[in-house]
Amino acid sequence: MTLTDDAFDFVATLVRQRSAIQLERGKEYLVESRLAPLARTAGATDVDSYVRALRNDVTKHDLVVEALTTNETSWFRDANPFAVLHTTVVPELVGRGRRDFRIWSAACSSGQEPYSIAMTFSEHFPALRPQIIATDLSELMLDRGRAGEYTQLEINRGLPAPMLVKYFERTGATFQITPSIRNQVHFRHHNLLEPAPLGGPFDIVFLRNVLIYFDVETKRDVLRRVRMSMAPDGYLFLGAAETTIGVDETWERIQVGNTSIYRPREGKTR
Amino acid sequence: MKALVIDDSRVMRKIVGGILVDAGFEVVEAADGQEALDQMTLNDDITLCCIDWNMPVMSGFEFVVEVRKHVQWRDVTLMMITTEGEQGQIVRALAAGAHEYVIKPFTPEVILDKLQFLGLVEMKETV
């Protein structure tokens, strides 16, 4: 049975209110596939009847929002940004005298991105110990990140074998990240619609593959809050399909190879 | 670019070979390490080997050790694709000269991620 328009609209409104993520018509398949496991667990006959029951059960709303806002992730996702981090961004900031790096990995999902950042520092700048604040909307994902335990399928996604050997230990069927890396990452609940998390001003912010889900107004709003949380000479990494151009002109784009990075234009940190 | 897929399972050779063909490789196959060495001698333009561990005649590990003895093959990228997931095995393979290690089962994206990192296919950022 396909999802009724009514049920879809209810879920889309709930997700938009909680996370600002826009679920346009045509994304019915996404709602169905993400909510089907929840419907099964709840003993509902199908997603439609599960959504009907949701209207009177606010305790399940968090689960629904989580199911629809959790996205695929991998180690060193797209590789290029991590190369730019160690070839360009960190050396430049070190050149300005920076030693104590504060980094924000926003919408960090199950932790692959912040841990990839920590491993990049460990590989290339072992004398530097960055403080990495990793935030996500989903408590479930934050718990997974804190545990630092990954299945073999998750480990296969993008983690170079030499890094697996160096920074993980096999514990039964899973691989756990080593304490020296795990201790550098602090997981915190955060909604991008709210003020930036404590721990700044941030020298580097990763906000990758998040803005694509927002409308222009929300993008501008999120970018403004990110800018306010950053050091004046800090750098922002966005996803490949994302840009500040045409959204918020207070950012300067810097092209490094195939990767664009951004920094606040002078005097525009506030 | 030419790749050599080494696995005693014909099905697995087809799966891995299919992923590599889609990524732009020409693919040759071998069913064990010895056959693979023969293919390496016949095809001097092989740039990548995807290697199962457990095979009859000559194992994937022995093949890696053998390849690394020959200077003319020093630029060939060696990627293990195996069910052997113990950390000690991975360390052994890397120490012997393998560049990458994929634990079965895997998805095409896993192989493509690795090829991107190894610089064998063009880096594409994901959305």
Write a three-state SS string for A57-114: CHHHHHHHHHHHHCCCCCCCCCCHHHHHHHHHHHHHHHHCCCCCCEEEEECCCCCHHH
Confidence of residue B77 (pLDDT cuts 50, 70, 90): very high
Which 8-state DSSP code applies to residue A7? H
**CA A201 vs CA A204, A206, A229: distances in Å:** 9, 14, 5
Residue A242: count other Cβ atoms within 10 Å of its Cβ: 20
- pLDDT at position B126: 57
* Chain B nearest-CA residue for A240: B125
* Chain A nearest-CA residue for B100: A161
Q: A78, A81, A58, A68: which is closest to A36 by C-alpha? A: A68
Angle of helix A5-19 relative to helix A28-42, nearest 10 degrees? Answer: 90
B98 and A161: CB-CB below 8 Å? yes
Cα of A241 to nearest chain B Cα, Å: 6
B127 and A239: CB-CB below 8 Å? yes
Average pLDDT over residues B89-109: 92
A158 and B113: CB-CB below 8 Å? yes
What residues in B contact A258, CB-CB < 8 Å?
A: 123, 125
Spacing of C-alpha A160 from chain mean position = 21
Q: B105 lies in a domain?
A: yes
What residues in A contact B86, CB-CB < 8 Å?
A: 170
Q: Is the four-CA dihedral B7, B8, B10, B11 of positive or negative sign? A: negative
Dist. CA B52–CA B78, nearest whole Å: 11
Dist. CA A261–CA A24, nearest whole Å: 29
Residue A209 is nearest to which of B90, B99, B127, comparing CB atoms? B127
Q: B86 lies in a domain?
A: yes
What residues in B contact A157, CB-CB < 8 Å?
A: 109-110, 113
Terminal Cα distance for chain A, rounded: 50
Dist. CA B30–CA B37, nearest whole Å: 9
* Chain A nearest-CA residue for B98: A161
Average pLDDT over residues B35-47: 96
Is it the case that residue A67 has pLDDT exceeding 90? no
> How confident is the prediction for chain A on average, in pLDDT?
90
Average pLDDT over residues A194-198: 91
Residue A157 is nearest to which of B98, B109, B125, comparing CB atoms? B109
Q: B125 lies in a domain?
A: no
Partnered with residue B109 across adjacent β-strands are: none
Q: How many CB pairs under 8 A join A and B?
A: 66
Amino acid (one-letter) located at A250: T
Domain that includes residue B40, residue range: 2-117
Dist. CA A223–CA A193, nearest whole Å: 10
Tens digit of pLDDT for each residue in A200-222? 899 999 999 889 888 899 999 99
Cα of B25 to nearest chain A Cα, Å: 20
Q: B61 lies in a domain?
A: yes
* Chain B nearest-CA residue for A211: B127
CB A111 within 8 A of CB A148: yes
In chain A, which residues touch B (CB < 8 A)? Answer: 74, 76-80, 152-153, 155-158, 160-162, 164-165, 168-170, 209, 212, 239-241, 258-259
Q: B49 lies in a domain?
A: yes
What residues in A contact B110, CB-CB < 8 Å?
A: 156-157
Q: B122 lies in a domain?
A: no
How many domains is chain B partitioned into structurally?
A: 1
Q: In this structure, what CATH number is given to the domain that contains residue B79?
A: 3.40.50.2300
Query: Would the pTM of this model clear 0.90, i.e. be above it?
Result: no
CB A148 within 8 A of CB B99: no
Q: B126 lies in a domain?
A: no
Residues of A noted as catalytic: 34, 136
Which 8-state DSSP code applies to residue A157? T
Is residue A51 helix, strand or coil? helix
Dist. CA A252–CA A261, nearest whole Å: 8
Residue A241 is nearest to which of B91, B106, B127, comparing CB atoms? B127
Dist. CA B64–CA B66, nearest whole Å: 5
Average pLDDT over residues A225-243: 93
What residues in A contact B123, CB-CB < 8 Å?
A: 78-80, 258
Which 8-state DSSP code applies to residue A267? T
Q: B53 lies in a domain?
A: yes
Confidence of residue A190 (pLDDT cuts 50, 70, 90): very high
